[in-house]
Chains A and B, each alone.
Chain A
Amino acid sequence: MTVYKIMIIEDDPLIRSELRNMLCGNGYDAVAVSDFSTTITEVKRENPQLIILDIKLPGENGFSLCSQIRTFSNVPIVFVTSCNTDMDELNSIMLGGDAYITKPYNTAILLAKIASLLKRAYPTGNQEAMAYQGTFLHLETSKLECNGQQIELTKNELKIMYYLYKNAGKICSRNDLIDFLWDNQLYVDDNALSVNVNRIRDKLSAIGLHDFIKTKHRQGYFI
């Protein structure tokens, strides 16, 4: 998998470093600009795949930076700002911004926007499948494959399996799992999670995968 480089142009040092931590924790390579007099050269040098741009900056503001970047690059730009006036939103669209997010942003929404922008800007084409112990999770077709046999998963079930595959071998607490589902607009509560997991287990048993998802008492699930 390619690691995308994301550049953060934000003047608040605390937000800058936390944003970098957050992006690094989510599998991106994040770099931040700290000297705003040489932002443009920095952008040219780092050549990131996506830019997160604050509007209010010391010296040149985000809008003028955006139009300058647009003269040499089509890199996706996400505007983040605390001013949620429609003039700003309109400006950001007119100047070639790809997304507009207001502070305090929801990290889940920010990550989802980044992921969809990257996917659109750099299409990989190949079908994604996650593998673990001879089983394959096909994300595009929502199917799980083992020994040539396939089962179909619903939207909820696919997301649960995706999370377990991503954290294969680690214990996933019920809370984290529910948080992840909420991030993906599936509003599942504790009972519904148990119901979903049991349904997946039934399906897995049908293709000979018994006890594939294990329960760690009082902690959560893992594969």
Chain B
Amino acid sequence: MSCKLYWKQKIPLLILNGAGMSVLTVFLLLNGINGGSMILILSVWGAALAGYLAGAYFLRKAQLDKLLSLAKQLEERYLLPEVMERPVRADDLVFYRLLKLAGRSMLEQVSEAKREQAEYREYIEQWIHEIKTPITAMKLICENHRADHSKDLLVELEKTNRYTEQALFYARSEHPEKDYLVRELRLFDVVHQAIADNRYLLRQYNVQIVLTETEDSVYSDEKWLCFILDQLIVNAVKYRTGSPVIRFFVERSGNEVSLCIADNGIGIIDSDLPRIFEKGFTGENGRGASQTATGIGLYLCKRLCDKLGIGLSAASNEETVFKLSFYINDHIHQVQG
């Protein structure tokens, strides 16, 4: 509470009291009261007034400070009217009622918006499932009736499917825990799956795939991991150079197993490196004339990795390397063993 403003608003009261005092002085002088008793009467009035004003000020200040600190402690501040004490003063009560009213209408608005958002997300998920039937049909037709253009169509279909998957995973990335199936996965089975998902793209650009296959397995969700690998493979192809090579290999250190995806593409410049996982960041390379970076792919990867407990890091020297680090928990083996 601003002290200055408070007292400024008390000026009318002070003026009124001053006027009252002047009138009383004149009245007493006319009635022949002597100076001594007059000073006594006026100072009693003055003291009573000062006492009352000071008391009211400190009481009010304490009351309001309590409310402010209460609001500060609350995490959800809109709940303040529910938590605070019901005030006693008539005018305070009006504001209290107004506060409650405003809070309630805001909550209604928020829940309405939330419901709409959930409905929309549900619709998107359903739509994506439905669009997959025609994509499957088109793919089967192309594969059964090989013609000159069917390869190109299959590349486009792969792209179509990738975009729909991205939309689905974006919609789900907020709550991936609702859609988890953590199992023991052989890392290179997932790599094979991701390569198969992008084979037409990889074949179109004559990408050389080099696998250093191992038997390492991790505990994770196949679908999500495959989606992350898809994004990384597509990026490697997007930012390729003359004769593209993508290498997949595994690194082990301590209780971590890392799946590395290395490509010999144009690389990422140092100043961009810390920001590539930000939403909407496209960087020097992504803004180039021939590229159309959306700034979504890597952002989604990072977000999913964070939720899945996978470390995701990037480095770019002679090769651009994306590293997915899995924490190996020996307890699982002990329990199973």
Q: What is the 8 Å Cβ interface bit string for chain A, positions 94-135, against chain B (1 contact, 0 not)?
A: 000000001111111100000000000000000000000000
Which of these, B135, B180, B211, B221, contacts A103 with CB under 8 Å?
B135
Using known A-B contacts A18-B140, A86-B180, determine if residue A104 contacts B132 with beta carbons closer than 8 Å.
Answer: yes
CB within 8 Å: A-B pair count: 70
Using known A-B contacts A104-B161, A108-B196, A189-B208, determine if residue A19 contacts B135 with beta carbons closer than 8 Å.
Answer: no
- In the bound complex, what is the Cα–Cα distance between A12 and B211 (angstroms)? 38
Chain B residue with Cβ nearest A13: B137
Q: Does B252 contact A (CB under 8 A)?
A: no
Return A148 CB to nearest CB of chain B, in Å.
35
> Which residues between 76 and 106 of chain A lie within 8 Å of chain B, taking CB atoms?
82-86, 89-90, 102-106
Return A219 CB to nearest CB of chain B, in Å.
15
Chain A residue with Cβ nearest B129: A82
Neighbouring B residues of A21 by C-beta, 8 Å: 144
- In the bound complex, what is the Cα–Cα distance between A185 and B140 (angstroms)? 20
- Judging by beta carbons under 8 Å apart, are B136 and A90 in contact? no
Neighbouring B residues of A84 by C-beta, 8 Å: 223
- Judging by beta carbons under 8 Å apart, are B179 and A86 in contact? yes
Q: Does A140 contact B (CB under 8 A)?
A: no
Which of these, B133, B144, B197, B208, contacts A12 with CB under 8 Å?
B133
Neighbouring A residues of B144 by C-beta, 8 Å: 18, 21-22, 25
Neighbouring B residues of A103 by C-beta, 8 Å: 132-133, 135-136
> Which residues between 128 and 161 of chain B lie within 8 Å of chain A, taking CB atoms?
129-130, 132-133, 135-137, 139-141, 143-144, 157, 161
- In the bound complex, what is the Cα–Cα distance between A15 and B203 (angstroms)? 25
- In the bound complex, what is the Cα–Cα distance between A185 and B141 (angstroms)? 23
Neighbouring B residues of A82 by C-beta, 8 Å: 129-130, 132-133, 136
Q: Does B13 contact A (CB under 8 A)?
A: no
- In the bound complex, what is the Cα–Cα distance between A190 and B221 (angstroms)? 34
Interface centre among B139, B161, B206, B221 (most CB of A within 10 A): B139
Interface centre among B140, B179, B202 (most CB of A within 10 A): B140
Q: Does A69 contact B (CB under 8 A)?
A: no
- Judging by beta carbons under 8 Å apart, are A107 and B206 in contact? no
- Judging by beta carbons under 8 Å apart, are A18 and B157 in contact? no
- Judging by beta carbons under 8 Å apart, are B137 and A86 in contact? no
- In the bound complex, what is the Cα–Cα distance between A187 and B137 (angstroms)? 26
Return B190 CB to nearest CB of chain A, in Å.
12
> Which residues between 15 and 39 of chain A lie within 8 Å of chain B, taking CB atoms?
15, 18-19, 21-22, 25
Chain A residue with Cβ nearest B182: A86
Using known A-B contacts A86-B181, A90-B181, determine if residue A104 contacts B203 with beta carbons closer than 8 Å.
Answer: no
- Judging by beta carbons under 8 Å apart, are B135 and A178 in contact? no
Q: Does B195 contact A (CB under 8 A)?
A: yes
Neighbouring A residues of B199 by C-beta, 8 Å: 106, 182
Chain A residue with Cβ nearest B141: A18
- Judging by beta carbons under 8 Å apart, are B132 and A85 in contact? no
- Judging by beta carbons under 8 Å apart, are A14 and B196 in contact? no
Neighbouring A residues of B139 by C-beta, 8 Å: 104, 107
- Judging by beta carbons under 8 Å apart, are A104 and B211 in contact? no
- In the bound complex, what is the Cα–Cα distance between A101 and B223 (angstroms)? 11
- In the bound complex, what is the Cα–Cα distance between A12 and B143 (angstroms)? 17
- Judging by beta carbons under 8 Å apart, are B133 and A15 in contact? yes
Neighbouring A residues of B203 by C-beta, 8 Å: 178-179, 182
Chain A residue with Cβ nearest B189: A185
Return B266 CB to nearest CB of chain A, in Å.
21
- In the bound complex, what is the Cα–Cα distance between A187 and B211 (angstroms)? 9
Neighbouring B residues of A187 by C-beta, 8 Å: 195, 202, 208-209, 211
- Judging by beta carbons under 8 Å apart, are B140 and A22 in contact? yes
- In the bound complex, what is the Cα–Cα distance between A102 and B196 (angstroms)? 14
- In the bound complex, what is the Cα–Cα distance between A174 and B195 (angstroms)? 20
- In the bound complex, what is the Cα–Cα distance between A83 and B197 (angstroms)? 17
Q: Does B192 contact A (CB under 8 A)?
A: yes
- In the bound complex, what is the Cα–Cα distance between A190 and B3 (angstroms)? 84
- Judging by beta carbons under 8 Å apart, are A107 and B181 in contact? no
Chain A residue with Cβ nearest B248: A187
